[in-house]
Amino acid sequence: MIQYPILLAHGLGGFEAMQYDVWQSMSLRIEYFHGVEAHYKSLGVEQVYAPGVPSTGSIAERAEALKRFIDANIDAPKIHIIAHSMGGLDARHYISRLGGAERVASLTTLGTPHHGSAIANLTLDMIAGPLLDALLKIKLSNWRVYVDAYFAGHRDLMPERMERFNAETSDAPTVRYFSYAGEPSAREVHWVLLPFYEYLKRKGEQPGPNDGLVLVESARWSGWRGTVPLDHIGLVNWLFMPTAAACALKPLDFYAQLLQNLSEVENQTDRRIEP
């Protein structure tokens, strides 16, 4: 079993776990990484963290928040980061540009748009752009600033922005990287993601297999481990009927498999420091 803590890094629009009091002693807990923390602890992982960072912030803002959390809350000399979607870019920024290479043993990215996402361009073109233009015309400058800041994360995920990010953010030689992409069939995609899935598969500038938001080729990065038959939200264990019944892989089984990679990293680290 692994010895280092695991940190789960959420994507764009993500959140720290939220607790709601439903009725008297009953409460409802909603986690971004649905059930993953409890599953890892049941498998013997002693420390699992799932911090919140600015939900729609830029990569730099989110990475700074990630660094603050790690510095303030994790005493272990090394950690493993498992990151979903944009969280993988936050982690890369933290590792390569904020001194995180000294703290991170491995980074595993799941459905991370390392080369950007055409859906970000689509969102900006169809929603952000017209909204900002409308606010400018009616002279609501304060609201325009707020809306512009809200879409900071979307702008960073544009392919042209990611090309520059990758040129400026080299992998750290002391950190092990693993990357996975979701590649579900149409019947395994939740209906909310299905229009985006079909757009990326057939109509985007570079159409191809995807998880409903991120192309497989965009999720491909260092330590490439291939694809899994899960859509973008399935990668964090959010499955809804009938999608759940169609999935060939159960997400928590996949997360258990990831521990083998992390164990190998620790074994190699231990061998390097033996006298």
The region of weakest confidence among 118-122, 149-153, 212-216, 250-254 is: 149-153
What's the total number of domains in the chain?
1
| Domain annotation covers residue 73 | yes
Query: What proportion of the chain, given as a percentage, has pLDDT over 70?
Result: 81
What is the bridge-based pairing of β-strands 26-30 and 18-23? antiparallel
Residue 49 forms part of a structural domain:
yes
pTM: 0.88
Please give the average per-residue pLDDT across 226-240, as a whole number: 95
For range 156-163, the mean pLDDT: 91
Q: Is 261 left (phi over 0), alpha (psi -120 to 50) or beta?
A: alpha
Q: What tokens does 249 get?
A: 């892989």
Of the listed ranges 127-136, 143-152, 233-242, the least confidently predicted one is 127-136
| Domain assignment present for 62 | yes
274, pLDDT greater than 50:
no
pLDDT for the residue numbered 30: 87
In the structure, what pLDDT confidence band is assigned to residue 154 with cuts at 50, 70 and 90?
Answer: confident
Strand stretches in the chain, DSSP E: 6-9, 18-23, 26-30, 48-49, 79-84, 104-110, 176-182, 224-228
Query: CA–CA separation, 108 vs 74, rounded Å?
Result: 19
CB 185 within 8 A of CB 229: yes
What's the gap between Cα 24 and its chain centre?
35
pLDDT at 130 > cutoff 50: no
Domain contains 175 = yes
Average pLDDT, the chain: 86
Cβ contact 114:221 at 8 Å: yes
CATH number of the domain encompassing residue 119: 3.40.50.1820
pLDDT of residue 46: 93
pLDDT at 126: 43
In a domain, 65, yes or no: yes
Check if the beta carbon of residue 80 is closer than 8 Å to that of residue 7: yes
What confidence score (pLDDT) does residue 79 get?
97
Q: Is the pLDDT of residue 236 over 50?
A: yes
1 within domain boundaries: no
pLDDT tens digits, 48-64 = 999 999 988 899 999 99
Over residues 105-111, the mean pLDDT reads 98
Q: Which domain holds residue 223?
A: 6-273
